[in-house]
Chains A and B, each alone.
Chain A
Amino acid sequence: MTSAPRAVPLAASAEPPAVFAFFQQTAAIAEIELKKLIRDPTEVLTRAVQPVLWIVIFGNVFSRIRAIPTGNVSYLAFMTPGILAQSVLFVAIFYGIAVIWERDLGIVHKLLVSPAQRAALVYGKATSAGFRGAVQATIIYIVAFLLHIQIRWTFFSILGVFAGAMLGSAIFATLSFIVACLVKSRERFMGVGQLMTMPLFFASNAIYPIAIMPHWLRVVAYLNPLTYLVDALRTLMIGASQSSHSVLANFGIIGLIFVILAAIATKLYPTLVR
C-alpha cells in the first residue's frame, strides 16, 4: 500500500496543441456533468412537469377562448414551440446556482488553478446545459404526440428543434453563469433569477405573437434572445407562417449571442474566487 509511484521528471506532461486541448477540456467538463445527470435524473424529470401543465391547462383553456390570433394554425400548435423555449429558459436560468455551489465547495478554485483554458470550462458547462435542453425537447415531443398536437415530424425539423433547444439552453445557462459570477451568493442569485425569468418569458413571442404587443414592448421583445429561439423553433415545428425571420437568420442571431455571452463568462469566471 505504501509503495510510491515511480518517479518521473517534474511536470512531465507536455503541452498539447491549444485547439486540441480546448476540445478535450470542454468534453471532459461536459462528460462529468452528463454522468451526474444520468446518475441522478430527479431534477430533470421534475422539471418536466411544468411544460406539461402549461400545454395541458393553459394551452387548452386559451385555445378554447380563441383570444390570441394565430392565423391558420391551432393555438396549441402555436404555443408548443414557445413552451419548449420557456421550459429551456426556466431550467437553464438557475444553472448559476450550481456554479455558486461549486465555488463554495472549492471546485471552482481547483478548476481555475489547473492549466485548463477558462473558455473550455465555460463551453463545457454550456454543453452540459445543452443536454438538459435536449431532455426538455424530448418531453415536449412526447406531450405533443400524446395530445395529437399538429406539429411537423420530419427528421430535419426534429434535428433542428433539438439543436435549437440545446443552443437556447446554453445561452440562458451562460447568462445565468454571468449573473452568478457577479452576485456570488445563492441568496442574491435566487432573487435575481426570479427577476430575470418573468420578463424574458412574457416579453417574447412564446405564447402570443409580437404583433399584438404595444410598440414599446415589441422593442423589448426584439432585444430578447428568447424571441429568436421561439421564432426558429416555431418555423421548424409548424412552418414559417407565424415566424418573422428565417431559421438560418434566427440561428445566426442566437449563435452570435451565445458566443458573446460565453466570452463575457470566460472573462468573469476567475473573479469568482477572488
Chain B
Amino acid sequence: MSTSNTAVTNSVEATVPGGEAFAIETFGLTRRFGDLIAANHVTLHVRYGAIFGLLGPNGAGKTTTIKMLTTMLDPSEGTASVAGFDIVKTPAKVRRMIGYVPQMLSADGGLTGWENLALSAKLYGIGRAERKRRIEEALRFMGLSDFGRKLVKTYSGGMIRRLEIAQAMLHRPAVLFLDEPTIGLDPVARRSVWERLLELRANFQMTVLITTHGMDEADELCDHLAIMHLGKVAAVGTPADLKASVGPGATLDDVFVHFSGGTIQEEGNYRDVRATRRTVSRLG
C-alpha cells in the first residue's frame, strides 16, 4: 500500500482554495460494521482538479469510503479532509464544499427537471435571481433545455444522470463525488456523461472522485486510480503506471485481476446486487 501511493504523492502541485495541496486527503480511514472491516486504513491523496477513480469489486469498500468522505458515515478510526475541511470535526463545512451523485437514481420522478434543480438550489441557499440563471445554464449545458418542464419519470436513463450531475453542480462544489455514475447506461449515454464531467473539470477546476466497475471508464476518464480490495487500497497510480507495473502489454483488466485477485463481478452481497439491479431496471 505504501509503495503504491508514490505515484500520486509525487505529483503534488495544485494549490487552489486556501493553499492546501490536496482536494481529498485521507489518513488511515477505517470503518467497521461489527466484525466486518468495510474500509481498512484507506490512505489516499487526490490533487485539486484531478478525476480520481476508485475501482474494485462489490464490497471492496468504495461506497463506504465515499460515505465517510461525504459525511454520511463517521469513521471508526483515522481521519480525512475534503477541500481543506476535516470530515469529523467540521462536517457541515465539508457539506457546503461538495456535490454528490448517489449510485441509485436519486432525481425525483414526480417532479420536473426544473423543480429538481430548484429544490437543490434552495437547500444550498442560492438566491432567487441567481437560482433561475444557474438552472437555465445547467439545463442548457446538460442538453436538457427542452425537457426542463417535463416530469423526470419521462426522461431516459442518460438524461436522468445528466440532470443529477447538474443538481450536484449547481452550487459549484470544489469536489464532486459520483458513485457508479454510468452504471446501466448504454455506450452513447456513458460517453455523454464522461464528456460533461471533463468539461466541468475544465471550466471549474473541479475535483472529481468516482467509483466505477468499468475498465474503459477508468482508462479514459480518470487521471489516477486506486484499486480497492477487501476494504484496503491495493494499488494507486495513473492508468498507465498501473498497467506498466503489471507487465508489458497489460490491460487495465489485467491490473484489476492482479490486485484484486479475481474478476470484477464475483463478489458483493445480496443487498449490493439488489441495489444495482434496481438502478439498472429504473434506467430501463
Which A positions have Cβ atoms within 8 angstroms of B? 1-16, 21, 24-25, 27-29, 32, 35-36, 39-40, 104-107, 109-116, 270, 273-274
Contacts and interface: CB of A to CB of B under 8 A. Distances in A.
Contacts of A110: 100-102, 106, 167
Contacts of A39: 110
Given A11-B172, A12-B172, A105-B106, A112 B72 contact: yes
> Which 3 A-B residue pairs are closest in the complex by CB-CB distance?
A106-B104, A106-B106, A106-B102
Given A8-B172, A12-B172, A113 B204 contact: no
A53 to B, nearest CB: 29
B100 A109 contact: yes
10 contacts: A5-B137, A8-B172, A10-B97, A13-B171, A14-B125, A15-B96, A28-B123, A36-B111, A110-B100, A110-B106
Given A5-B137, A106-B106, A25 B122 contact: yes
A10 B72 contact: no
A39 B17 CA distance: 44
A113 B124 contact: no
Nearest to A103: B104
B105 interface: yes
Contacts of B231: none
Contacts of B124: 13, 114-116
Given A3-B141, A4-B141, A5-B138, A10 B102 contact: no
B17 A113 contact: no
B126 interface: yes
Given A110-B106, A273-B67, A274-B72, A4 B200 contact: yes
B258 interface: no
A10 B16 contact: yes
Contacts of A28: 118-119, 122-123
Contacts, number: 125
B77 to A, nearest CB: 16
B123 A25 contact: yes
B257 interface: no
Contacts of A25: 122-123
B108 interface: yes
A62 to B, nearest CB: 40
B141 A105 contact: no
A8 B167 CA distance: 16
A7 B137 CA distance: 12
B29 to A, nearest CB: 15
Contacts of B126: 13
Contacts of B172: 8-13
Contacts of B122: 24-25, 27-28
Given A32-B108, A32-B115, A105-B105, A113 B100 contact: yes
Interface in B89-136: 92, 95-98, 100-106, 108, 110-111, 115, 118-120, 122-126, 134
B134 A5 contact: yes
B233 interface: no
A1 B96 contact: no
B17 A10 contact: yes
Nearest to B70: A113
A115 B124 CA distance: 6
B202 interface: yes
Interface string B167-187: 100011110000000000000
B203 interface: yes
A113 B202 contact: no
B71 interface: yes
Interface in B191-240: 195, 199-200, 202-206
A87 to B, nearest CB: 24
Given A114-B124, A115-B125, A11 B106 contact: no
Contacts of B174: 10-11
B140 A32 contact: no
A28 B126 CA distance: 12
Contacts of B97: 10-11
Contacts of B78: none
With most chain A CB atoms within 10 A of its CB, the pick from B106, B123, B199 is B123
Contacts of A35: 110-111, 115
A114 B95 contact: yes
B108 A104 contact: no
Contact of A10 (B71, B119, B173, B278): B173
